[in-house]
């Protein structure tokens, strides 16, 4: 008798459990305050990079697609290159990630990637060629430019837009509040990040 009641309770409870265990896991991504997803991606020079290689350093991730008007805004205005120089000089790792699948906008062969980077005067630590989109999906990178900051312990400190002007016009660079600069300034001073997450703007990442 008792056992029956007890077991019915178990059945009911485990069925109820569904409600709680079936959380949406499809979109974990890089969550601020949590460990960043690890990755192993080849760069345009053919070298492999993993997040664990950069333990003890700040890492800035920039999703890149040179065909995207929003990205062009930041490169034509020399904004992205300046940021790359500014932070790599301070020992911060800057990784530009291309998740465009072959045949889609923004995809380039390694040589073309390097040539374009030189033409634009880009100065990241490396340009990662995430051809199959594994890294992009792991981070839930949605647009170009989508920006992330990871601290020396591998914790995500920022996930969001590069600045507060969601336009493709280069003239909007002037007077824009750059969230990456604000976050990095706080982090390098050992302070908490004020705006740690917001909606990134740009073109969708051209996953396969």
Partner 1 sequence: MKTRLLLFFLLLTFFLPFQNTAAQPVVTENAVTELVSEQKTIQPGQTFWIGVHQELREGWYVYYRNPGDSGMPLMLEWVHDKDFQIGDIEWPTPLWIDVSAGMASHGYYGSVLFMMEATAPEDLIPGEEYTLMAEADWLICEVLCIPEYADLELTLLVTDEEPIYNEDNLALFNNTRTQLPVVLDYWKAEATIHSSGATLTLSTDEFPLPDYSEIVYFAKEEGEIENGAAQPFNVDGNTITIELKKSTYKSGDIDRLWGLVYNASGWDEAGTIPSIIVDVSPGEESVAASDVATMPVLSSRFMLILVFAFIGGMILNLMPCVFPILSIKVMNFMQMAGHDPKKVRLHGYMFGAGVLLSFLFLALLLIGLRAGGQELGWGFQLQTPAFIAFMTFLMFALGLSLMGVFEIGNSLINVAGKANTGEGMRGSFFSGILATVLATPCTAPFMGTAIGVAITLPATTSLIIFAALGLGMAAPYVLLSSFPALMKFMPKPGAWMETFKQAMAFPLFATAIWLIWVYGQQAGIDGLTRLLVGLLLLSLGIWILHRWKAVQISGTARIVSRSIATAIIIGGFLFSVPQAGSESPGNEISSSNGFGIDWIAYSESGLQQKIDEGNNIFIDFTAAWCITCKANERIVFSSDRVKDKFNDLNFVMVKADWTNRNPEITRALESFGRNGVPLYVIYSPSLEEPMILPELLTPGIVMDALEKVSGGTTLTFSDS
Which residues lie below 8 Å from residue 101, measured CB to CB, with a gap of 6+? 107, 131, 132, 133, 206, 207, 208
Supply the DSSP symbol for 172. G
**Closest separation between CB of residue 108 and partner 1, Å?**
15
Residue 63, strand partner residues = 97
List Cβ neighbours of 130 (8 Å cut-off, separation of 6 or more): 39, 41, 97, 98, 99, 136
Closest CA to 45 of 91, 89, 96: 96
Smallest distance from the beta carbon of 113 to partner 1, in angstroms? 19
Residue 9-48 contact track with partner 1, rule CB under 8 A, x = bound: --x--xx-xxx-xxxxxxxxx-------------------
Residue from 44, 68, 97, 193 touching partner 1 (CB under 8 A): that is 68
Instruction: Give the shortest CB-18-to-partner 1 separation in angstroms.
Output: 5
Residue of the chain from 45, 90, 115, 169 that contacts partner 1 (CB under 8 A): 169
CA-based end-to-end distance of the chain:
58
Sheet holding 93-98, edge to edge: 126-129, 93-98, 59-63, 147-150, 156-160
1 binds partner 1 (CB under 8 A): yes
In the stretch 76-105, what mask flags binding to partner 1 with x, by CB under 8 A?
----------------------------xx
Where along the sequence are the contacts to partner 1 (CB under 8 A)?
1, 3-4, 7-8, 11, 14-15, 17-19, 21-29, 67-70, 104-105, 137-138, 140, 142-143, 159-160, 166-169, 196-207
């Amino acid at each position: 008798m008792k056992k029956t009641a007890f077991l019915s309770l178990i059945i009911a409870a485990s069925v109820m459990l569904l409600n709680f265990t079936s959380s949406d896991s499809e979109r974990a991504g890089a969550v601020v305050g949590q460990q960043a997803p690890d990755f192993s991606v080849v760069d345009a020079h053919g070298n492999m990079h993993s997040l664990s290689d950069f333990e003890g350093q700040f890492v800035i991730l920039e999703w890149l697609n040179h065909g995207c008007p929003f990205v062009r805004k930041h490169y034509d205005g020399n904004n992205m290159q300046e940021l790359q120089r500014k932070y790599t000089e301070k020992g911060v790792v800057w990784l530009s990630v291309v998740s465009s699948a072959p045949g889609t906008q923004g995809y380039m062969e390694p040589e073309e990637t390097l040539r374009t980077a030189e033409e634009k005067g880009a100065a990241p630590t490396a340009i990662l060629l995430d051809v199959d989109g594994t890294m992009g999906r792991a981070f839930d990178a949605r647009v170009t430019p989508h920006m992330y900051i990871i601290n020396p312990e591998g914790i995500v400190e920022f996930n969001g837009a590069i600045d507060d002007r969601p336009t493709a016009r280069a003239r909007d660079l002037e007077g824009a509040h750059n969230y990456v600069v604000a976050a990095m300034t706080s982090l390098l001073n050992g302070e908490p990040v004020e705006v740690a997450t917001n909606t990134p703007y740009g073109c969708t990442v051209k996953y396969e």
